[in-house]
Structure 1
Amino acid sequence: MLVLDENMTRAALPFPDLIGAIGAMFASDCITPLRHHHQMEVPGEADATLLLMPCWQPGTYAGVKILNLFPDNYRRSLSTIIGQYLLSSAKTGEMLALIEGGELTARRTAATSALASRFLSREDASHMVMVGTGRLALNLIEAHATVRPLKRISVWGRDTNKAARLVEQIVALGLSAHVAEDLSAACSDADIIACATLSDQPLVRGDWLKEGVHLDLVGAFKPTMRESDDTAIRRSRVFVDTFQGATYEGGDIVIPLQTGVLQEADIQAELRQLVTGERKGRQSSDEITLFKSVGAALEDLAGAILAYETVRAQV
């Protein structure tokens, strides 16, 4: 059985290949049961979350991710996301690979956003605002830059020191970047706004959004969390990674559905429908699009297969 650590996993999942693999998996007939989502109490700290995410392609591959999300791990200088992915043969049941789950999750999440961006953001999008400075941030920037000609990155975070360190990492990738001190001003000039936070309250206001912007929401993974306000929902054509997940788990969708701001019929499409051409994405240069992602097990399976086959070919 192959064992892939964080560095091996990262090297085996280049974004162009990963974006393609996830697109192909969304269009396939893989089986994705509703994931197990459990809240775990941590005395004296914010509650943690245990995720169990199975998925399989009949006769080829099967896998399950076990993921722990501990919001207060920053106090211990540990990653918020810790986990592993176990890939198996769906023909014999043999265990094939154990893949570092945090890196797999970060890269497949960013790649899924980039895949959606191909259908939803303007093709000439050049200015991206990154809201949040955690592990996902650099991955999201790199992934979006794979599909759009980004020339300028504005980084906003509650901790300006973390934002400054992220800017240094972005510049090392060859992109122009700076710390955004005024989030409203940055968002009002953005072509793409990506949010990856654990916020309970909206950070991005719909009144700030210019025509043609694409809003990419990948944080706020609980029904009580939110990164966008009602005005952003009202002004946008809304898309999701999966209807099943986004309408059940993501507060940016769940709360507007509960209050009547959004109806299920208002959700334009899930990502599978965009990939297969069943539904259309962006239809004009001035419309505002919003994509809410809560993650799907098929994304992990696509990444795990790609990583396994890439490393195996090198052995």
Structure 2
Amino acid sequence: MRIVTGNDIRSVCSWPFAVEALRAGHMLAPAELRDSLVENSGRKMLVRTAWIAGLASGVKAVTIYPENPSQQPPRPSVQGQVLLFDEAGGHVVAVLEGVDLTAWKTGGDSALGSSCLSRPDVKTMLMVGAGSMARPLIDAHRSVRPSLDTVMIWNRNIARAEELAKALGADGITAKAVADLDDAVSRADLISSATMSLEPLIKGGALKKGAHVDLVGAYTPTMREADDAVLTRGRFFVDSYATTIGHIGEVMIPMASGVISRDDIQGDMHDLVQGKAGRQSDDEITVFKNGGGAHLDVMIAHAVYGAVDNL
């Protein structure tokens, strides 16, 4: 068994590496998935398992402490580990550091979705939220859409948005913090949202024609980042039926109210990667729900383990 540290992961990972690992994984049959979520005083423990026939199986166990980034010293809001099992023999081949792997998995999932759904000529990106996933998502989207030349950042605490914009600027990326979310939504070609919001932030009525919306943050039955109009104006896709329907408020709440039905979901990541679904015109709005799931962690972990083991 190999211990794969965050440094090991960073030594072999890049956004093209992560995206292609996920693309290859979605050419296989869908994974068998099971999740368990325990909550205590706003803190959460999430255990996700996945078995991908012909590839590997794995378990991801993480804690989610939303207040950690504001502590002194700051700590990650998400902490945990991934166990990777040999698919043929059933033995543990690696234990991988979970924080770094989660960032590559989450950003890679959204970037792969964007590569299938967003217009190839997108220029302006809006990042909603300036937390720990904001920079990985910006970098991931820019890796598959190099036409992006401007990044707007909105955050409830605008000082954090300004800090991120300054860091992006130092790396040669044109970026600015914005205070008016609706106005920024109306000007963005690509919107990525990663917040802990319980109430919709993105209004469908503000979306421009041809926009792509990447919804990342909502991961519990009570969380939402987009209002009903986002889902009814756009063609709606999910990364996995199994991890979104019946699990995430972004899908559950509008389904329960009758705003959308199962038939309104146009496809999952398997359909997108295999060319069975996708954008149909330049003017249509596309919406992608990044629901996560241990199958994505297993795909990335398997690729990372193979790359690290060959060093």
TM bucket, shorter chain:
over 0.9
Query: How many residue pairs are counted as aligned between the two chains?
Result: 308
**Partners of 1:58 and 1:228 in 2: how far apart?**
34
> For 1:61-100, what aligned pairs fall within 5 Å after superposition?
61-76=56-71, 77-100=74-97
Measured after TM superposition, the shift of residue 30 of structure 1 is 5.6
Change (3 A) 1:31 1:291: closer
Distance 2:220 2:231 in 1: 17
TM-score by length of 2: 0.95
CA separation of 1:20 and 1:59: change in aligned 2, threshold 3 A: closer
Deviation string for 1:198-219 (max 9, x for gaps)? 0011111111101000010000
Counterpart-to-counterpart distance in 1, 2:76 and 2:32: 27
How many angstroms does 1:56 deviate by?
2.9
Question: In structure 2, how many angstroms separate the alpha carbons of the residues matched to 1:61 and 1:119?
Answer: 25
Q: Give distance in 2, aligned partners of 1:58 and 1:289.
A: 30
Q: Note if 1:175 corresponds to 2:170.
A: no
Once the two structures are TM-superposed, the CA of residue 73 in structure 1 deviates from its matched residue by 1.9
1:3 corresponds to 2:23: no
Inter-CA distance 299–225: structure 2 relative to 1 (3 Å threshold):
same
TM-fit CA distance, 1:55: 2.0
Letter in 1 for 2:232: R
Gaps of 5+ in 1: none
Partner of 2:217: 219
AA matched with 1:25: G
Cα distance in 1 between the residues matched to 2:172 and 2:105: 22
| 2:308 aligned residue | 311
The Cα shift of 1:121 comes to 0.6
| Of 299, 311, 315, the match for 2:296 | 299
The alignment yields a C-alpha RMSD, in angstroms, of 1.5
The separation in 2 between residues aligned to 1:304 and 1:173, in whole angstroms, is 28
Distance (Å, rounded) in 2 between the aligned partners of 1:30 and 1:202 = 30
**Alignment match, 1:52:** 47
Whole-Å separation in 1 of the counterparts to 2:133 and 2:70: 18
Give 1:253 shift: 1.2
Q: Is the 8 A contact 2:32 2:52 kept in 1?
A: no
Q: Does the 8 Å contact 1:241/1:296 carry over to 2?
A: no
Q: What is aligned with 1:290? A: 287
Q: Is the 8 A contact 1:2 1:97 kept in 2?
A: yes
TM-score using structure 1 length: 0.93
Listed one character per residue, the Cα deviations across residues 51-94 of structure 1 (whole Å, up to 9, x for unaligned) are 22222344653221111111222342221111101112222333
SS in 1 for 2:22: helix
Rounded to whole Å, the distance in 2 between the matches of 1:144 and 1:200 is 25
Check the 8 A contact 1:202/1:227 in 2, yes or no. yes
Q: Evaluate the alpha carbon distance shift between residue 10 and residue 269 of structure 1 in structure 2; reply closer, same or farther with a 3 A threshold.
A: same
For structure 2, list consecutive stretches of 5 or more residues without a partner in the other structure: none
Query: Within 1, Cα distance between the matches of 2:88 and 2:50?
Result: 14
- CA 1:219 to 1:60, structure 2 compared with 1: closer, same or farther past 3 Å? closer
Distance 1:252 1:33 in 2: 20
The structure-2 alpha-carbon separation of the partners of 1:61 and 1:223, relative to structure 1 and needing over 3 Å to count, comes to same
What letter corresponds to residue 90 of structure 1 in structure 2?
A: E
Q: Residue type matched to 1:16 in 2? A: P
